[in-house]
Structure 1
Amino acid sequence: MVIEHVAIWCQDLEKMRTFYQHYFQLQSNHKYTNARGFQSYFLRFSSGCRIELMQWDQVSTGHNDAERQFLGLGHIALSLGSREAVDNLTRKLQQDGYTCVSGPRVTGDGYYESCILDPELNRIELCA
């Protein structure tokens, strides 16, 4: 069994698509739009797993906050393959103005990781 995709509701669909494509080298399909105004992109990792970015004016804004977490999806963890890759991407994201919530560090459960926030304050763990 594998995860096929994870979906994220977005306020700024294009900004989120650009972020995930740029920093994680994901391949995007063409935007899907239905008659009710729902829009989405599927972004594919080289492994085949996908992230679906979705936008629809019928969805209320979330409680995303850089300091607090709420019920629902906690984070997405992306394995970068090495500590050096975690350090390098964390540094690049910080230089580009994105918030690093924690790390890079070795966690109590043995991961080497950092946690950054995407443009809409969703948590992404970069791990080795």
Structure 2
Amino acid sequence: MIAHLAIWTRDLERMRVFYETYFGATASPLYHNPTKQFRSYFLSFGAGCQLELMHRPDVPDDTSDPLAQRTGLIHFALSVGSPERVDALTRRLNTDGYARIDGPRTTGDGYYESVVLDPENNRIEITV
């Protein structure tokens, strides 16, 4: 079982609000380690895997060194329960100015999904 996924983020509060607003996440209290200038939230989506949003001012955007810390991730999928909810949330996000990359569609391996970008261009698959 996956306990949590983590994203290094440039704008911690904007990202927290995005996931609360569009995916119904509930954020933990802000954790702050002033010595390391580290801040984070754990976001819960009901049951199962959590998403940790993390910020430290010295973590770069540069992806050239795969062993170094850097912002972002490739993608993760959030289930919304039905094809109709996939469609509705995809439309809402697109109307609110977030990029729709793909779908909604049924993929070759049978998943119904769309792909959108969050405020820092991380890919989210919205699926049943």
Q: Structure 1 residue 21: deviation in Å? A: 0.6
Query: What is the match of residue 76 of structure 1?
Result: 76
Q: Scaled by the length of structure 2, what TM-score is found?
A: 0.88
Q: Distance in 2 between matches of 1:59 and 1:51?
A: 18
**SS of aligned partner of 1:61:** coil
After superposition, give the CA deviation of every residue in 1:4-62 in whole Å (9 maximum; x if it has no partner).
11000000000000000111111111111112201100111101421000000121124
Separation in 2, partners of 1:62, 1:88: 34
In 2, Cα distance between the equivalents of 1:53 and 1:45? 14
Matches of 2:91 and 2:37 in 1, distance apart?
A: 37
Q: Counterpart in 2 of 1:28?
A: 27
Q: Which residue of 1 aligns with 2:44?
A: 44
Corresponding residue for 1:69? Answer: none
2:81 match: secondary structure? coil
For the aligned residues, what is the CA RMSD? 1.3
Q: Secondary structure at the match of 1:60?
A: coil
Cα distance in 1 between the residues matched to 2:83 and 2:58: 41
Q: Does structure 1 residue 87 correspond to structure 2 residue 87? A: yes
Tell me, in whole angstroms, the C-alpha distance in 2 between the residues paired with 1:87 and 1:114: 8
Alignment of structure 1 residues 1-128 onto 2, 5 Å: 2-34=1-33, 35-62=35-62, 73-128=73-128
Q: TM-score, normalised by structure 1?
A: 0.88
Work out the number of aligned pairs and report it. Answer: 119
Work out the CA distance in 2 between the residues paired with 1:62 and 1:119. Answer: 18
* Counterparts in 2 of 1:90 and 1:41: CA distance versus 1, 3 Å: same
**Where does structure 1 differ by over 6 angstroms across 4 or more consecutive aligned residues?**
none
**Unmatched segments (≥5 aa) in structure 2:** 64-71
Sequence identity, in percent? 55
User: Residue type of the partner of 1:92?
Assistant: R
